[in-house]
Structure 1
Amino acid sequence: MFLITIIIVCTLGVFGQPILQQTSEALSVLVPGSKLKPIYFVNTQEKKIAISFDATWGAEYTPKILNILEEYNIKTTFFLTNIWLKEYPDAAKTIRMAGHEIGMHSVTHPHFNQLSEEQMTYELQKNKEKIEEVTGFSAKLFRPPFGEYNNKVIQVIESLGYIPIQWSIDSLDWMEDKSKQDIINRVTKNLHPGAIVLFHNNGRYTADALEEIIQYVYEQGYEIIPISQLIYQDNYFIDHQGAQRLKKVN
């Protein structure tokens, strides 16, 4: 069992569901009836979003994605597995050299809900070590494979000092039946301040859709930044929708 020393403030959200307040200095604990959440999006009025890419298999389209990001001087967050790091170390180095943030995505891309605490810890720590070995980057953000999590998963991630990240806009670019226009529509029609957008580095039409999405985002007056620059680093809590909110100062 993990030893957790914490001061937690619990308030009631909509429909009387408990909301756990947490900061980078405090870990979540399980309150009966509650469901712990990763960060889906940031509650903000500022027109800023983060776009992210998960990488587990393939790298065919990654150079084109990086070229587009460079053209628009955009920095993003890439979540890498050890599977991908071992297969494409040079691509991983290129991503980092281009100034992009690296996040953890596990060693073997397993279903975390089915793992023991020890297995989860292995997947996290070995992933972090491999990222640092290959790219020199010390990762703090973790996105669970398949976007799958439960209370135990969130507690293990946070107990190791990492920040669990989900998404609020899913491009669905990994689906074979989705066209370039489908991907564009998924993102542009759901755009909102504080959004975290999910792409995959090797989606068939991801690179083709990316430039039009970026242009639309800019036309709407938004800025695109890495996830770590979008999220609050302390004095925050995650509500029942996965929104990261600043605590009110009395």
Structure 2
Amino acid sequence: MRSRLLVLVGVALLATGCAAHDEAQVQGRPGPSVTASGPEVSGGSGLSAALLARVPHFAAPPAPQPVSVPAGPSAGWYSAIPTTQPVAFITIDDGWTKDPHALDLFKAAHVPITLFLEINAIKSDPGYFTQLQQAGAVIEAHTISHPELKGKSYDVQKHEICGSADELGRLYGRRPLLFRPPFGDKDATTLRVVHDCGMKAAFFWRETTDKGIVRYQAGQQVKAGDIVLMHFRPAFVDDFLAVLKAIADAGLTPASLESYIS
């Protein structure tokens, strides 16, 4: 019975995307809630004035001071960018839930966003992410089928990593230069494959967001250089507003992750 229960719990965690590590964070703080009755909209498209009022206004980010990725046969690995500049980085994984309000939220926030997309998650509607790309989001790689990479052979990891970068390049006209492993799990082979697939760096995170709650690995505030993780999930509006609020409350500005990788 106990082993059956553990299997069921594991399946439930995998179903939420990268939940195996997301839910390990014990510090949490809720953001603005809009999902009790759904996001308010006006005229069938666009966001309501009430919802737009929840979107913080940020100063322009400073001129970036890029970090140099390590020389050698392996890609760099970062949970945060080592910088004292007052910036944080918004990253969104997978692509299963294609919330119709995301495009309007991206336009209203007008901040840099990096999308780590999984091929299986986006293939039902790749054009949805073309709109987000046209609104300024940058598309990076997150494997084909979201497997646990750690411990897998070079060839298995290469299929998932190179294959996803190749397909995203075909779909969106730019081959990814950055990578996030599923669940944030990697080994030395992962970083070697990322490098061999022509990408510069792979990423973990310092904060993660689900159901409008930001969870912190340390402390209760986003810090300069932190990488913040969220997903394309049913609570997308809550999550996105919570991330923006957490960054604003910390006195930081969202910046382009790509511009900080030399």
- Residue type of the alignment partner of 2:208: D
Give the match's secondary structure for 1:87: coil
Give 2:254's aligned amino acid. I
- Residue among 120, 144, 155 paired with 1:83: 120
Whether 1:55 and 2:94 are equivalent positions in the alignment is yes
Distance 1:100 1:216 in 2: 20
> How far did residue 102 of structure 1 move?
0.7
CA shift for structure 1 position 46: 0.9
State yes or no: 1:164 paired with 2:210: no
For the Cα contact (< 8 Å) 2:221–2:246, is it kept in 1?
no
TM-score calculated relative to the size of structure 2: 0.66
**Do the aligned residues in 1 keep the contact of 2:161 with 2:193 (CA within 8 Å)?**
no
Quote the residue 2:235 is aligned against.
205
How many residue pairs match? The answer is 194
1:146 and 2:183 correspond: yes
8 Å contact 1:27–1:155 — kept in the other structure?
no
Paired residue for 1:118? 155
Q: Deviations over 1:66-119 (max 9, x none)?
A: 322210211200011110231121112112111111110001111111421111
Q: Please state how far the C-alpha of 1:132 moved relative to its aligned partner.
A: 1.4
SS in 2 for 1:49: strand
Could you tell me how far apart the structure 1 residues matched to 2:245 and 2:150 are? 38
For 1:26, the equivalent position in structure 2 comes to 71
1:69 equivalent in alignment to 2:99 = no
| Aligned pairs for 1:92-111 within 5 A | 92-111=129-148
- Map of 2:78 onto structure 1: 39
Q: How much does 1:25 deviate?
A: 6.7
- Scaled by the length of structure 1, the TM-score of the pair is 0.69
68-77 vs 192-201, which moves further: 68-77
Query: What per-residue deviation string (whole Å, max 9, x for no partner) do you get for residues 16-64 of structure 1?
Result: xxxxxx95472257xxxxxx972110121111011110024232x2x32
Change (3 A) 1:88 1:196: same
1:169-188 equivalent positions in 2, closer than 5 A: 169-171=207-209, 173=210, 179-180=211-212, 183-184=213-214, 186=216
Unaligned runs of 5+ in 2: 1-66
- In 2: Cα distance, 1:103 partner to 1:84 partner: 14
Work out which of the residue numbers 185, 189, 201 in structure 1 matches 2:220. 189
Alpha-carbon offset, residue 186 of structure 1: 4.7
Structure 1 pair 220–148 and aligned structure 2 pair: CA distance change class (3 A): closer
Quick one: structure 1 residues 129 and 42, their matched pair in 2 at CA, closer, same or farther if it must change by over 3 Å?
same
Amino acid at match of 1:168: R
The answer to whether the 8 Å contact 2:221/2:250 transfers is no
Q: Which runs of 5+ in 1 are unaligned?
A: 1-21, 30-35, 174-178, 234-250
1:222 alignment partner in structure 2:
252
Residue 133 (str. 1) matches residue 153 (str. 2) = no
